[in-house]
Structure 1
Amino acid sequence: MNGRTVDLTVIDGVIESVTDHDPIDQSGTDLQDWLLLPPLTEPHAHLDKALTAEEVRNPTGDLDGAVQAWAAAAAEGRFTPDNVIERSTRAIELLLANGVTAVRTHINISPDVGASNVYALHRVRESFAGLIDIQIVALPRGPMTGPDSSANRAAFAEALDAGVDVVGGCPHLEDGATDAVAFAFDRALEFGLPVDLHTDETLDPSVLTVLDMVEQVHELGFDKMVSASHCVSLGVQPLEAQHDIAARIAAAGIAVLPHPQTNLYLQGRDHQAATPRGLTAIRPLVEAGVVVAAGADNVQDPYNLVGRSDPLETAALLVMAGHVTPEDAYTMVSNNGRKVMGLAPVEFRPGDPADFVAINAPSIRAAIADAPKSRRVYRAGRLVASSDQQTTINWRAST
Structure 2
Amino acid sequence: MGALFDRAIAGNAVLRRATVPACLLADAAHDAQAGDLNSVDLEIVAGKIQRIAPAGELGVQGDLVIDLDNGMVLPALVDMHTHLDKGHIWPRRPNPDGTFASALAAVGEDRIAYWTAEDVRARMEFGLRCAYAYGTSVIRTHIDSLPPQDEISWPVFEALRAEWAGRIDLQGSCLFGIDRLIEDPGFLIRIADRMKQVGGVLGAVTYMVPGLDGLLDDIFKAAMERGLDLDFHVDETGDPNAKSLRHIAEAAIRCGFSGKIVCGHCCSLARQEESEADETLDLIAQAGIGVVSLPMCNMYLQDRMPGRTPRWRGVTLLHEMRARDIAVAVASDNTRDPFYAYGDLDLIEVYAQATRILQLDHPIGDWVKSVSTAPAQMLGVEAGQLRVGNPADLLVFRGRNWSEILSRPGAPREVLRGGVTLNETIPDYRELDHLMTGNGAAS
* TM-score exceeds 0.5: yes
Q: Which residues of structure 2 form unaligned runs of 5+?
A: 1-18, 21-36, 427-443
SS in structure 2 of the partner of residue 265 of structure 1: helix
- Between the aligned partners of 1:251 and 1:227, the Cα distance in structure 2 is 14
CA contact 1:374–1:387 (8 Å) conserved in 2? no
1:256 aligns to what SS in structure 2?
strand
Equivalent-residue separation in structure 1 for 2:256 and 2:389 (angstroms): 31
Deviation at 1:331, TM superposition (A): 1.8
Contact persistence 1:47–1:87 (CA under 8 A): yes
Q: Distance in 1 between matches of 2:333 and 2:43?
A: 35
1:100 corresponds in structure 2 to 136
Aligned to 1:393: none
- Separation in structure 1 between the aligned mates of residue 276 and residue 173 of structure 2, nearest angstrom: 30
Q: In structure 1, which of residues 53, 68, 71 is the aligned counterpart of residue 105 of structure 2? A: 68
Aligned with 2:149: secondary structure?
A: coil
The equivalent residue for 2:150 is 114
**What SS class does the counterpart of residue 106 from structure 1 fall into?**
strand
- Contact (CA 8 Å) 1:375, 1:386: kept in 2 or not? no
Moved more, 21-30 or 243-252: 21-30
Task: Please report the RMSD computed on the Cα atoms of aligned residues, expressed in angstroms.
Answer: 2.5
Shift of 1:229: 0.3
Give the match for residue 317 of structure 1: 353
Q: 1:75 to 1:212 in 2, by over 3 A?
A: same
Q: How many Å apart are 1:17 and its aligned residue?
A: 2.7
Distance 2:250 2:48 in 1: 39
> In the aligned structure 1, how far is the partner of 2:210 from the partner of 2:218?
14
Task: Determine if contact 1:358/1:375 at 8 Å carries over to the other structure.
Answer: yes
Change (3 A) 1:353 1:186: farther
Alignment of 1:260-279 (within 5 A): 260-270=295-305, 272=308, 275-279=311-315
SS in 2 for 1:293: strand
Which whole-Å CA distance do the structure 2 matches of 1:61 and 1:5 have between them? 45
Q: Does 1:37 align with 2:74?
A: yes
350-359 vs 221-230, which deviates more?
Answer: 350-359
Higher mean Cα deviation, 116-125 or 134-143? 134-143
The question of whether the paired residues in 2 share the 8 Å contact of 1:376 and 1:386 is answered with no
Comparing 17-26 with 84-93, greater Cα deviation is found at 17-26
CA offsets, 1:332-360, max 9 Å, x none? 12221211211235443435554332222
Report the equivalent of 1:137: 173
CA distance in 2, matches of 1:61, 1:318: 20
Return the match for 1:340 from 353, 378, 388.
378
Q: Secondary structure at the match of 1:52?
A: coil
For 2:65 and 2:77, locate their aligned partners in 1 and report how far apart those are by CA, in whole Å.
21
Which structure carries more relative contact order (alpha carbon 8 Å, separation 6+)?
2
1:261-300 CA deviation, whole Å, 9 max, x = no partner? 1111111014935622110011111111111111111010
Deviations 1:236-256 (A, max 9, x none): 122333333222211211111
- Using structure 2 for the length normalisation, give the TM-score: 0.80
Q: Give the conservation status (yes or no) of the 8 Å contact 2:204–2:233.
A: yes
Flag the 1:6–1:102 CA change in 2: closer, same or farther, 3 A. same
Matched, 1:86 2:125: no
For 1:230-309, list aligned pairs within 5 A. Answer: 230-270=265-305, 272=308, 275-309=311-345
CA, structure 1 residues 380+150, in 2 after alignment: closer, same or farther (shift >3 Å)?
Answer: same
Match of 1:397 in 2: none
CA contact (8 A) 1:330 1:364 kept: no
- In the alignment of these two chains, the number of paired residues is 386
Percent sequence identity over aligned pairs: 25
> 1:212: which partner in 2?
247
Counterpart of 1:8 in structure 2 is 42
CA–CA separation in structure 1 for the residues paired with 2:250 and 2:155: 33
- How far apart in 2 are the matches of 1:242 and 1:31? 49
1:180 to 215, 222, 227: 215
In 2, the alpha carbon distance for the partners of 1:5 and 1:94 equals 30
CA contact (8 A) 2:302 2:314 kept: yes
Partner of residue 330 from structure 1, selected from 361, 368, 372: 368
Q: Which amino acid aligns with 1:338?
A: A
Distance 2:403 2:283 in 1: 32
Could you tell me how far apart the structure 2 residues matched to 1:13 and 1:200 are?
43
Which moved further from structure 2: 151-160 or 338-347? 151-160
TM-superposed deviation, 1:327: 4.7
CA displacement at 1:204 relative to structure 2:
1.1
TM-score with structure 1 length normalisation?
0.88
CA pair 121-173 structure 1, distance change in 2 beyond 3 A = farther
Q: Is the Cα–Cα contact under 8 Å of residues 349 and 410 in structure 2 kept in the other structure?
A: no
Gaps of 5+ in 1: 389-399
CA–CA distance in structure 2, aligned partners of residues 368 and 193 of structure 1 = 37
Query: Please, which moves more after superposition, 24-33 or 79-88?
Result: 24-33
Distance 1:18 1:216, change over 3 A: same
Question: Take 1:267 and 1:353, find their aligned partners in 2: how far apart are those partners?
Answer: 40
**C-alpha contact 1:56 1:301 (8 A) present in aligned 2:** yes
SS in 1 for 2:215: helix
**C-alpha deviation, 1:199, in angstroms:** 0.7
Secondary structure class of the residue paired with 2:415: strand
CA distance in 2, matches of 1:336, 1:156: 28
